[in-house]
Structure formats: structure tokens, C-alpha cells
A and B are shown apart, each in its own frame.
Chain A
Amino acid sequence: MTDATPKIRIRGLTKSFGPKRVLDGIDLDVMPGTSCVVIGGSGSGKSVLLRCILGLIAPDSGSIEIDGVDILTLPPRRREGAIEKIGMLFQNGALFDSLSVWENVAFGLMAAGRRHGARMARAEARAHAGQVLEQVGLDPSVGALYPSELSGGMQKRVGLARAIASQPDILFFDEPTTGLDPIMGAVIDGLIVDCVRRLGSTAIAITHDMASAQRIGDRAAMLYQGKLIWQGAASALLDSGNPMVDQFTHGRREGPISMELRR
């Protein structure tokens, strides 16, 4: 495989819920080792896009290739193997309440259904979880706590630790800075960039936060009414030349998007 082959290649992806078409022919390439940020308003289909790639939602049509293999046409067990390469940081952390922090971080490593790499014993997994917690700026002693005992920022860090614990090829971030103060948001963004670079992973992040989008992304794309209406360098987000993107990134009330909302 050459570097010219996208790590993730999406073509003609569609998904409808009842009469509402949430994804309407999405084409997206994410090259190996790069980060792509998808921006868009609430309900624009950003989360559905990630969930389609993760196999949590079945798309109506289209193809999703990872390393050149269309995962939608794979038998279920091979598809699960392909998806195992992906680590995911959920919007609210999605930490398991009933498990301690270290068990959350090491969950994927101890998972009996793991296909890539040997399943870790609990003692080994606990030690590894401590190391991963340190990588996201947390003391290993935090591992003994439960998620309900952590602040929002710490929960995000633990979620990030869980996502990177198995050193995945691909990382997804769903609104990584939502609900955090600006400083903690910048800290989480910095950790995300560090983790992605250290692991050499390919990343897709979805966010409303323009500062976060520019910090995390190499490339950016905007989703509007189920279509990707713009793709370009993340550094060009605030000056894209596309009226819809400019309105969104600058948070203007007036513009083509607000005209749609008024109707």
C-alpha cells in the first residue's frame, strides 16, 4: 500500500431516518497519519457519519473503505476485526459507571472478543492502564477511583486514555471539548494532538468548536444538510471563501444558513 491510498475512503454514503435524509452522498478521504475535522450544525449528521464508520449504524448505501477494504461488504466477524483498529472518544466520555477508572481504560485490552493482539491479564492490564493515564496527564492513582468521582475534564482524559490504550490505527473524537472550560478544552486538544502524533494514527474529529477544530485538524470539512459542502485545510476554516462555512465559523446570525432556519 502506498501513502496515496487513503486510510479511510468514503464514497456515496447515504443514510435516512424515516423521511429525513441525514447523510446524502458523502465522499471523504482521510490520508494516513492525518487528522480531519468535520464541522457542522447540530443535527447535520456528523455523529451519524462516525457511527456509520464504526458499524453502530448501517448506512443505506455507499462504501466505507479502511486500508482499501470496503468494511460494509465484509462478513460480520471480519468487519468487527476491522473496526477494532478504531479508538473512539465519545462526547460525554461514555465511561462505564460500574467499573473503576483503570478497568475502563484497560477494558479493550482485557476484552475476551479481542482479535488483534493477545488479551491481557488483569494485573498486566492494570499496570498498562496506569501508564496510559500518565500519558493523558493523570496520576495512576486515579485508576482506583470510579467515573462518578471525576470532574468533566478528568472524565474526558480517561475517555481519551481508553481510546488510545490499545494503540489504534484510527481515532475518532466526538465533540471532544463540549462542556469544558476553554483552558481545559485546549488541554484536551493538546493531548489529542500529542496522542495522534505519538501513535501515528489517522483521526477524524467532529466539533462545533472552531478553536478546537484548528488545533486538532490538518484538514477540515463542513457537513450541511447531509452533504459535505466544503473541504480544505483546517487552517483555512476561518477564511474558506464559502459563504456557509464563513457564516458558521464566524457564528454570524445572518447568512445562507440562517435563511434556511427561518423558513
Chain B
Amino acid sequence: MNVILDFIAALGRAALNLVRTAGALALFGLAGLSHLVRPPFYWRIFLGSLVEIGFFSLPVVALTALFSGGVIALQSYTGFAQYHVQSAIAGIVVLSVTRELGPVLAGLMVAGRVGAAMAAEIGTMRVTDQVDALTTLSTNPVKYLVTPRLLAGTLALPFLVLVADILGVLGGFTVSVVKLDFSAPAYIAATLATVKPIDITVGLAKAAVFGFLIALMGCYHGYHSRGGAEGVGAATTSAVVGASILLLAFDYLLTDVFFSQ
């Protein structure tokens, strides 16, 4: 009986912690956003973060998209050849990449690369008193550390996803034409006939949401890290895991909102 009660109590504690964390995260995000309309705005930090996220993530996002597009083409061909509908491959590639794989894979890559870096940087600043030092130097730490990163994440990820869309389609095109003997003009025509502006715009909108969530999780866990190097390590892990789960959950929600009949 005690074992059952302990189990239920543990479940209850976990549920309460989840609700508490969700509330704290929402308040933290709102605090960060509220400084967008309350000057000053730290442009130097914003531009640095924009370059860090948007430019230095380009190689990893580009390679991921390129290979993913190629893999979709290969896998689709294997299945579709049985039913003689290989002509659908171009459409499958472009829709998969623009609607889902571009935003999700770019988001997961950036979460691993940038979310972790943000959590580690701000976490180190927290445990070495640099965050407190900001306060003593007439600088609001949330305004200085969080707000520019939230905006940079929100703006940079759509750009990365646009690049991922192009390279993902290029990967599928290359595999289809070079390896599977598709006609290049026919593949391009099929791609253009299938994709609609909403497929791309919804993908970019998803990317903006994902970019915000990644920056939010990185900043939140870094800002609240405690206990030296171990605490910073834990904050980094939490930021990446939390951002990845939130990203996939919001992907489902946004897909349901935009594409379900």
C-alpha cells in the first residue's frame, strides 16, 4: 500500500514541478519579450547572436538538409517503384522538406549547437557572479542577456530554414537525376507544380517559433543554473533536451493548426 502511495506522490510531485516550470518559463519569456518595447535595446548583443545563430549554424544545417533531401529521394524511390509512381518523388521531397524536415531538422541542429552554447555562456556568467555584476552596473540582466537572444533566435532560424529548404530540394534533385536517372526538367517541373507558397511560409513560421523556443530554453536554463561547473553542465543538457521536446510538440501543434482539414 505504501509503495502505491509513494508512487502516486512521486507522480504528483512530478506534475507539480512540470506546471511550476511551465509557469516560470512563460513568465521568463514574457519578461524577455517585454524588454523589446522598452528601451534601451542592446544591438551589439543582438547582432552578435544573429551572426552566431544565423551564420555559424549554416554549415551544419546545410549538410543536414542536403543529405536528408537525398535520403528521402532514395527511400521514396524504393517504395514507390513497386507501384510505378516514381514521378511522385519530386513532390514528396519538396513537401517533406519545406513543411517538416527543413524546420524540424534545422531546429534540432540549432538546439544542439546554439541552445547549448547559450545555456553554457549565461550559466557560466550566473555561477561566476557576472549576472549579479550586471545588476550592480545599472544593467538589467534579462534585457541585456535574454531579449537580444530571443529576437536573434526568432529571426535567424527562418533564414536557416530557407537555406535548408533549397538545399534539401537540391539533395533530392541531385540523387534523383544522378543516381535514379530522372529527367532534370521533369523533376523541376514536378517540384514547382507540387509546392505552394503556404508550404514554404508555414515552414518559415514554424522556424520562427522554433528559434524563439530554442533561445528561450537556452537563456532560461542558463539564467537559473546553480552550483558551479556541474550546474552549468546540467543547464546545458536541460536546455537541449527541453528545446528538442518543445520543438517537436510545437511542430505537432502548428501542423495541426495549419494543415489538418
Contact = CB atoms under 8 A, between A and B. Distances in A.
Contacts, number: 55
Contacts of A51: 132
A94 B133 contact: yes
A218 interface: no
A114 interface: yes
B21 interface: no
A248 interface: no
Interface string A48-85: 00010011100000000000000000000000100110
A156 to B, nearest CB: 13
Nearest to A115: B138
Contact of B130 (A55, A97, A114): A97
B40 to A, nearest CB: 3
Contacts of B124: 97
B139 interface: yes
Contacts of B128: 92, 94
Given A112-B39, A112-B40, A91 B129 contact: yes
Contacts of B135: 54-56, 83
B81 to A, nearest CB: 54
Contacts of B75: none
A83 B136 contact: yes
A98 B144 CA distance: 13
Given A94-B128, A94-B129, A97-B130, A88 B39 contact: no
A114 B139 CA distance: 8
Interface in A112-159: 112-115
Nearest to A98: B121
B138 A114 contact: yes
A233 to B, nearest CB: 29
A84 B136 CA distance: 7
Interface string A215-233: 0000000000000000000
B87 to A, nearest CB: 53
* Most chain B beta-carbon contacts within 10 A, residue among A90, A96, A112: A112
B5 to A, nearest CB: 25
Interface in B120-159: 121, 124-125, 128-130, 132-133, 135-140, 143
B136 A86 contact: yes
* Most chain B beta-carbon contacts within 10 A, residue among A95, A98, A113: A113
Nearest to B42: A112
A111 interface: yes
A108 interface: yes
Interface of B: 39-40, 42, 121, 124-125, 128-130, 132-133, 135-140, 143
Given A55-B135, A95-B133, A98-B121, 4 more contacts: A80-B138, A111-B139, A112-B139, A162-B137
13 contacts: A51-B132, A54-B132, A56-B136, A87-B136, A92-B129, A97-B125, A97-B130, A98-B121, A111-B137, A112-B40, A113-B40, A114-B138, A115-B138
Closest A-B pairs by Cβ, 5 of them: A112-B40, A94-B129, A108-B137, A94-B133, A111-B138
